[in-house]
């Protein structure tokens, strides 16, 4: 999954990143335009996909919760090969299953 590491231009509403992106790369891309996701893991060489599978806790969690609490949308590849967008209001069961899903569900990219 590490080759899925593209980052789209960050906006004030969020940033789309592919799941193999390291948080260090998200940090560089967002702070370059004066923005930042609410929560980073303390160790930033983990990937977005890897930490969203377990929750993602960091120095700002006392204020903003876990990284999974700040995900807006996921693009999920299902076991039968379909690519589905999900969010708290679109396919919410799939959305909640993938986040902290311990890698039992795959996601390709996510805005954080």
C-beta closer to ligand FAD: residue 10 or 23: 23
- Residue in 102, 56, 48 with CA at minimum distance from that of residue 73: 48
Give the DSSP letter string of 17-53: EETT-BHHHHHHHHHTTT---S---SSTTSBHHHHHT
C-beta closer to ligand FAD: residue 12 or 50: 50
Residues that bind ligand FAD (CB under 6 A): 1, 19, 41-43, 46-47, 49-51, 53-58, 103, 106-107
- Residue in 37, 44, 39, 47 with CA at minimum distance from that of residue 12: 37
Query: CB of residue 70 vs ligand FAD: minimum separation in angstroms?
Result: 13
Query: CB of residue 86 vs ligand FAD: minimum separation in angstroms?
Result: 13
Q: Which residue has the tokens 């679109």?
A: 90
C-beta closer to ligand FAD: residue 30 or 53: 53
Query: CB of residue 14 vs ligand FAD: minimum separation in angstroms?
Result: 18
């Amino acid at each position: 999954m590490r080759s899925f590491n593209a980052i789209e231009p960050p906006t004030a509403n969020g940033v789309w990143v592919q799941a193999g992106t390291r948080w260090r790369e998200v940090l560089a891309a967002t702070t370059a335009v004066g923005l930042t996701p609410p929560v980073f893991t303390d160790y930033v060489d983990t990937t977005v996909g890897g930490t969203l599978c377990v929750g993602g806790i960091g120095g700002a969690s006392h204020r903003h919760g876990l990284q999974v609490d700040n995900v807006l949308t996921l693009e999920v590849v299902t076991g039968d090969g379909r690519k589905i967008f999900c969010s708290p209001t679109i396919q919410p069961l799939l959305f909640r299953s993938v986040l902290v899903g311990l890698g039992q569900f795959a996601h390709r990219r996510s805005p954080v």
